[in-house]
């Protein structure tokens, strides 16, 4: 049925957890109450990307973009916008839309984006296979099966220049060719959906919003390498993504797009889910395979690589979600089309989870080569509260700190490596002047130490030693010798660790020492934390000139360390002060000083 208008509601995890389900129900009730069931359809989509402003509602065909919509707004949206044709201005992100001058693509957040991976997210209902098919879904698989040989498929991928988006950036077509070259027999195709970087949710959102694109890509890969069985390894912490994947597998099997003799050909391919327990190390391919086999998730030495000897000793290709999402588009539009997007060495686009001290946090997709400045200030809307940009962290806990002087550096594998960071899977965390670099570095090391499997000594022991040094520095007990020791251990870990977790865990230390050494020196030589994050280095006092004796600071002090009568100067007992900062936060007269 063709409807006159569509109400698209973001159905990603973030929006659903913020009354998104109740919003869909309320909109459906209002549509029914107004007798519009034959004219208006409410569609629960995947993530629309603008997570900072969710829940989001998009009205088609007007292309109106409403933000921070609550269930109680449903009546006004239907009666005013749908029935009377009047835009609800208070819910608009950009008030220019009320004059219909600006479509969604014209909004600053979307203007510089280019969606390949996220092409269907926020557009289709991910629980309905017919909507995916209507957007050219499974056409690439059909083309592969009826118009291309397995070698043709691999050749097209190699010509496209697609590199793995899981972090290492290895050419996808080359990886597939290794597995395809192995003798015929049992082979496997594995989707790595074990996304574990702090602040990262790219793969989860793609699976929630467009699960069939991953299933189609896995089937294409199975055809190309000669595999009949696929596995999606996904952490159990992603219940919505799991639910939608399970539903998609059932639907695709019922349509004859998975299972035996797909589309009447001799090619058969089945897909099963395997749930992980959320171990970060299982993002490493050999640890992931061990987990699928029912063993403890610990990495194994390579070679042999999984493409030669992987799951249960058989040739296995492992690609992450974002890599796979590109493949149907590449086969339909051609390698030449894809290779014209991006840079000379890094083709296509990159999906980032843009988080941190940024005005417009969310899920974005930009052409490779886009600069950090464009991402942070044009798409992200700049730093919150007008603060100064301090650094960006790419690559999650294994990435480096990128300082302001590299804001105009293009985002691609080689450029990021040259400045001491990595692409990683796509987490991008923005820091401002209120962030302490040694403290942030300590947070990342604490994460990687906790997530280390402990199998190899360089990672198990080296990571702990680095974390201990960072604790010393942040507590005001660090020395210049600690800096040299951290450098030495970091380089040793990079050379000797068994897997990528240990090899890249020191990246935050090495890059922060390179670009923010002055902050480390302040902590060590001056006992000072300029951002006020390291409690042991803080001293609170009350200004004689500014204190009006309002007693607000004394009332919030949890240990009664502040004394003073009303309308008289108050005093902080520094011996009793636990440096919680509540007095500093509550004082309206800037009388509480932090040094």
Give residue 99's pLDDT band: very low, low, confident or very high (50, 70, 90): low
Q: How far apart are CA 471 and CA 446, in angstroms?
A: 10
- Asked if 220 and 349 touch (Cβ cutoff 8 Å), the reply is no
Give residue 100's pLDDT band: very low, low, confident or very high (50, 70, 90): low
CA 535 to chain CA centroid, Å, is: 30
- Asked if 570 and 551 touch (Cβ cutoff 8 Å), the reply is yes
Q: How far apart are CA 412 and CA 533, in angstroms?
A: 32
Give residue 421's pLDDT band: very low, low, confident or very high (50, 70, 90): confident
Cβ-in-10-Å burial (0-12, 13-18, 19+) of 239 comes to exposed
Closest CA relative to residue 350, chosen from 379, 316, 377: 379
Q: What is the pLDDT of residues 519-536, one digit of tens each?
A: 999 999 999 999 989 988
Across residues 477-504, what is the average pLDDT? 94
Q: What pLDDT, on the 0 to 100 scale, is given for residue 242? A: 97
Give the single-character DSSP code of 530. T
Tokens encoding 363 = 């899920």
Per-chain mean pLDDT for the chain: 93
Q: What pLDDT, on the 0 to 100 scale, is given for residue 93? A: 84
- Asked if 572 and 562 touch (Cβ cutoff 8 Å), the reply is yes
Domains assigned to the chain: 5-104 (3.40.30.10), 129-338 (3.40.50.11540), 349-432 (3.10.20.600), 437-526 (1.20.1440.230), 538-594 (3.30.70.20)
Task: Please say if the pLDDT value at position 97 is more than 90.
Answer: no
Task: Please say if the pLDDT value at position 94 is more than 80.
Answer: no
CA 378 to chain CA centroid, Å, is: 19
Across residues 200-215, what is the average pLDDT? 95
- Asked if 438 and 512 touch (Cβ cutoff 8 Å), the reply is yes
């Amino acid at each position: 049925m063709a409807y006159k208008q569509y109400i698209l509601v973001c159905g990603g995890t973030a929006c659903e957890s913020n009354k998104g389900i109740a919003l869909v129900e309320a909109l459906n009730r209002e549509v029914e109450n107004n007798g519009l069931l034959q004219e208006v359809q409410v569609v629960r989509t995947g993530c629309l990307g603008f997570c900072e402003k969710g829940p989001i509602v998009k009205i088609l065909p007007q292309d109106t973009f409403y933000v921070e919509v609550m269930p109680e707004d449903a009546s006004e949206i239907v009666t005013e916008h749908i029935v009377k044709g009047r835009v609800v201005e208070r819910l608009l992100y950009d008030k220019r839309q009320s004059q219909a001058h600006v479509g969604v693509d014209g909004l600053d957040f979307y203007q510089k984006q280019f969606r390949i991976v996220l092409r269907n997210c926020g557009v289709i209902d991910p629980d309905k296979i017919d909507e995916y098919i209507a957007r050219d879904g499974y056409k690439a698989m059909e083309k592969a099966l009826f118009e291309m040989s397995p070698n043709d498929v691999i050749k097209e991928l190699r010509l496209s220049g697609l590199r793995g988006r899981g972090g290492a950036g290895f050419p996808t077509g080359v990886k597939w060719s290794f597995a395809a070259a192995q003798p015929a027999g049992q082979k496997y195709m594995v989707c790595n959906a074990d996304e574990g970087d702090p602040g990262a949710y790219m793969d989860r959102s793609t699976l929630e919003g467009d699960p069939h694109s991953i299933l189609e890509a896995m089937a294409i890969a199975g055809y190309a390498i000669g595999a009949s069985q696929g596995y999606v390894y996904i952490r159990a912490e992603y219940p919505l993504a799991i639910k939608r994947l399970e539903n998609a597998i059932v639907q695709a099997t019922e349509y004859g797009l998975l299972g035996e003799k797909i589309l009447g050909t001799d090619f058969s391919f089945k897909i099963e889910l395997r749930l992980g327990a959320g171990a970060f190390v299982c993002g490493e391919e050999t640890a992931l395979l061990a987990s699928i086999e029912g063993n403890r998730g610990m990495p194994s030495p390579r070679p042999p690589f999984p493409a030669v000897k992987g799951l249960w000793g058989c040739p296995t290709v492992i690609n992450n979600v974002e890599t796979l999402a590109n493949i149907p588009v590449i086969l339909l539009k051609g390698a030449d089309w894809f290779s014209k997007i991006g840079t000379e060495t890094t083709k296509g686009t990159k999906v980032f989870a843009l988080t941190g001290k940024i005005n417009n946090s969310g899920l974005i997709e930009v052409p490779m080569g886009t600069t950090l400045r464009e991402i942070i200030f044009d798409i992200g809307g700049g730093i919150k509260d007008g603060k100064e940009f301090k650094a960006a962290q790419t690559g999650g806990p294994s990435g480096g700190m990128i300082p302001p002087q590299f804001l105009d550096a293009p985002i691609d594998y080689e450029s990021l490596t040259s400045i001491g960071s990595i692409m990683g899977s796509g987490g991008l965390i923005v820091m401002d002047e209120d962030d302490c670099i040694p403290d942030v570095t300590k947070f990342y090391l604490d994460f990687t130490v906790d997530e280390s499997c402990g199998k190899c000594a360089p990672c198990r022991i080296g990571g702990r030693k680095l974390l201990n040094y960072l604790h010393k520095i942040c507590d005001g007990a660090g020395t210049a010798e600690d800096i040299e020791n951290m450098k030495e251990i970091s380089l040793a870990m990079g050379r000797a660790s068994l897997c990528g977790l240990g090899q890249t865990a020191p990246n935050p230390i090495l890059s922060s020492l390179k670009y923010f050494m002055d902050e480390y020196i302040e902590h060590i030589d001056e006992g000072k934390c300029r951002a006020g994050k390291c409690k042991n280095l803080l001293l609170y006092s009350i200004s004689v000139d500014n204190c009006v004796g309002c007693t607000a600071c004394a009332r919030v002090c949890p240990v009664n360390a502040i004394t003073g009568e009303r309308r008289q100067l108050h005093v902080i007992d520094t011996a009793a002060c636990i440096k919680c900062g509540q007095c500093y936060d509550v004082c309206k007269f800037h009388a509480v000083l932090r040094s």
